[in-house]
Amino acid sequence: MSNKELIEKAYWRAKDCFEERQVTTANERIDLLDKLEQTIRRQQSKIMEALYLDLNKSPHEAFMAEIGLVLVRSDILKKI
């Protein structure tokens, strides 16, 4: 399967999940953000490798410009 096909498949799966999801409570959204953070931390080395291979970002730049921003924004969203 080509990269384009993989991206399209992921897009449609995400879109379907979004459309099926019912309105959630604040606590449910916080739980989802916690799961996202855990997944990012667990997969951090793979994310950094992909950012290096795709965008030639150093590990420091990958964390500061991509990974760290998502984690910080997640924390902010949980507080508002």
Burial class (CB in 10 A: 0-12, 13-18, 19+), 9: exposed
Residue 23 pLDDT level (bands cut at 50, 70, 90): low
What does the chain come to in residues? 80
Other CB atoms within 10 A of residue 48 CB: 19
Token look-up 């995400």 returns 14
Q: Is the model more confident about 22 or about 9?
A: 9
Q: What is the mean pLDDT of residues 39-56?
A: 96
Identify the helix (H) or strand (E) that includes residue 55: helix 44-55
3-state secondary structure 10-39: HHHHHHHHHHHCCCCCHHHHHHHHHHHHHH
With a cut of 70, say whether residue 76 has pLDDT above it.
yes
pTM over 0.85: no
Q: What is the mean pLDDT of the chain?
A: 91
Any idea where the domains of the chain sit in the sequence? 3-79
